[in-house]
Structures are given as structure tokens and as C-alpha cells.
Amino acid sequence: MVFAAFRSIGAYIPPKIMTNLDFEKILDTSDEWITKRTGIKERRIAQKNEGSSDLGFKASQIAIQRANIDKNDIDLVICATVTPDYLCMPSTACLIASKLGLEPVQAFDISAACTGFVYAVSVAKAFIESGMKKNVLIVGAEKYTSILDYTDRGTCFIFGDGAGAAIISASDNKSEAIIDVNCSSDGNYSDLIQTIGGGSLHPCSQEVLDQKLACIRMKGNETFKLAVKTLSADVKVMMKKHNLINSDINHFIPHQANYRIIKAVGDMLGFTKEQTVVTVDRYGNTSAASIPMAMNYAYEQGKINSGDTVLFDAFGAGLTWGSALFPFSPKK
């Protein structure tokens, strides 16, 4: 039997910082309001000439190097993003594979918004366990600043840019195996977070441009309530299914959208501050990149060790949600 092992993590954090004080200069808002309502203090901004593939490429280089594999042994590249370099084609995964200089390889994107990286883990696991692939590069890469309306004070200040990546490889050692991934969706709530324009229903037009319909629109408050409910329910199911108690989890890594959501979910589930990884204060919400960037942050702080049990918990537009449970299993 072949198992899928989570071998490495990497991230690219764009150096340019936008603080809440910078938002005070362009919006009717304040550092105090943003900090109190979200916990966010600053977020990162990619350069004008960078696309999500450039961010994903840099994160991937680190993940590949830390996995200690030859890049040409990668036989599948998956990029989770809702801010692809190009709206329809080519996929961002193809661009990342090319920038990495990989030999021809299967590569495709996943569109599951903030849950995208957890969806990517589930697909990588399935490809490996079926025997079809041996080394999968998964990437969460977002340049959210490319779809923000900086006059929308209810939404624009929570998002930022960045990328995270991981290598998932075949292993014959069951103790290294990703234990479970559970992903789901409910399109009945599709209107809560949307980019209305630029797709097949409302193709690019002067109206789309004038009304900024290709920018993200979010019903923040309704989304907030559903996020707390869904994120906690999802983890309860996962923990019960595997007979786990809180102390079995070393690192709880929830989607980084709002510190109040993270705190409410953590409290409902009974995870301690020490178990819960928080980066929303420094990176804001980076959608599909948020979970791998948070994991990378904890890893670089020296907190994540070989064999530690990690629990991802994501929620986003779609609506989509998902959780993943696995031991961190670098190659010995």
C-alpha cells in the first residue's frame, strides 16, 4: 500500500508592507477599528509586475529545497488560486512549472478560494494513493490586491498577497501518511463572496469596468457568522471520526481571515493559544495562500517538528470548506 506524506513547507512573503495607517490615508477607517474588528495590523503587497505565479514560484523553490528532492521527480503541479495570472488560460500551475524549469509535467489550477490549499492536499493525496503520481507540488498563491476595490471599506483592508507551497510524496510508511482530508461546498451561498464581472455570465465590458464588477464583493458580516459555525463543525467531525482529543493536535492552523473568527473557533473547540497558529495580524487574509503561509511561519519559528500532528481548517467563497489532518513528515 502506498501512502501520501506531507514532506515540506515553504512560503514567499512579498517585502512591501501596507499598514492600517496607510488605509487611514485612503479610506474612512482607522487603525483602531481594523485592529479591534480583525486583529490585522498589516498585510503584504506584491509588485505591479508580479503575478501570482511569481509568488508561487518563489514559495515552490523553498518547498522543493526543503523536501530534498530533485525537481524533475515532481510529476504533478497543482496551484490553488482565485487570482491567476490570466483569467482563463494558461493556468498558473503551468506557469509555475515553467518558471521552475520542470520537464513536461501535468499541471492544473484549483479554484476553491480560501479553501483551495486544503482542496489541493486532498487531490494530491488521491493521486498518490491511487499510484498515479509520486511527488506532487501543491501551491497556494494569491495576488488579491489585483481584485480589490480600494473604495470598498467593508472588504479591501482584510486582504493581502503571498504564496505558500508544499511537497507531498509517496511513502510506504503508514506512520507518515496524511490521515484524512475532508472537503465540501455549498453553492447556495455563492453570493456571499463574489467577483461578478469578467466571467462568462458578465464578460468584460465598459459596465464591468465602470462599476468595478471584477473586484471582490463580500457580505462580511453574514460570512463571518457562517465561517465560525462551519470551521468549528468541520473540525468536530474530523476529531470525532479519528477519536482524537485536543491534546493530540500539536498545531491547529485555521484559515487566517479575521482574528475574531480564529479566537471564536479556537475557543469553541478548546484549542489553546499555543496550539493555534496566527499570522492574520502580519499578513492579513491571503485566501488560498493563508494556511501554507501560516504553517511556514510556525515552521520557521522552529515550532513544527518531524512527526507533529497538524490540523488545517479552511473556509471561503463558494462556499467551500475543508480540513486536513496529518503528521508533518520530512524525508528522513
Residues assigned a catalytic role: 114, 255, 285
Would you count residue 25 as binding ligand UT7 (CB under 6 A)? no
Identify residues 52-91 at the interface with ligand UT7 (CB under 6 A).
Answer: none
Q: Give the helix, strand, coil percentages of the chain, each rounded to 5.
A: 40, 25, 35
Which listed residue (130, 188, 206, 221) binds ligand UT7 by CB under 6 A? 221
Q: Which residues contact 168 (CB under 8 A, 6 or more apart)?
A: 4, 5, 6, 7, 121, 124, 125, 128, 135, 136, 138, 178
How is residue 114 annotated by DSSP? G
Identify residues 90-149 at the interface with ligand UT7 (CB under 6 A).
Answer: 114
Cβ closer to ligand UT7: 137 or 261?
261
Cβ closer to ligand UT7: 163 or 168?
163
Find the part of the chain contacting ligand UT7 (CB under 6 A) among 11-19, 222-230, 263-271, 275-283: 222-230
Which listed residue (12, 117, 127, 224) binds ligand UT7 by CB under 6 A? 224
Q: Report the run of H or E that residue 153 belongs to, with start and end.
A: none
Find the part of the chain contacting ligand UT7 (CB under 6 A) among 32-40, 57-65, 178-186, 242-250: 32-40
Cβ closer to ligand UT7: 94 or 228?
228
Tell me, by CB under 6 A, how many residues bind ligand UT7: 20
- In angstroms, the CA 112 to CA 321 distance is 9
Q: Which residues contact 314 (CB under 8 A, 6 or more apart)?
A: 114, 115, 117, 118, 231, 254, 255, 290, 291, 320, 321, 322, 323
Cβ closer to ligand UT7: 36 or 241?
36
Cβ closer to ligand UT7: 6 or 157?
157
Would you count residue 257 as binding ligand UT7 (CB under 6 A)? yes
Nearest residue to ligand UT7 on Cβ basis: 220
Angle, to 10 degrees, between the axis of helix 52-67 and the axis of helix 290-300?
40
Q: Smallest distance from the beta carbon of 154 to ligand UT7, in angstroms?
A: 4
Q: Smallest distance from the beta carbon of 22 to ligand UT7, in angstroms?
A: 13
Find the part of the chain contacting ligand UT7 (CB under 6 A) among 6-14, 82-90, 200-208, 256-264: 256-264
Find the part of the chain contacting ligand UT7 (CB under 6 A) among 133-141, 257-265, 267-275, 293-301: 257-265
- In angstroms, the CA 79 to CA 71 distance is 16
Task: Give Cα separations from 78 to 93, 100, 107, 244 (angstroms).
Answer: 6, 13, 6, 30
Task: Give Cα separations from 286 to 18, 294, 297 (angstroms).
Answer: 14, 10, 14
Q: Which residues pair with 180 in a beta bridge?
A: 325
Contact residues: ligand UT7, CB under 6 A = 29, 33, 37-38, 114, 153-154, 157-158, 193, 220-221, 223-224, 227, 257-258, 261, 285, 316
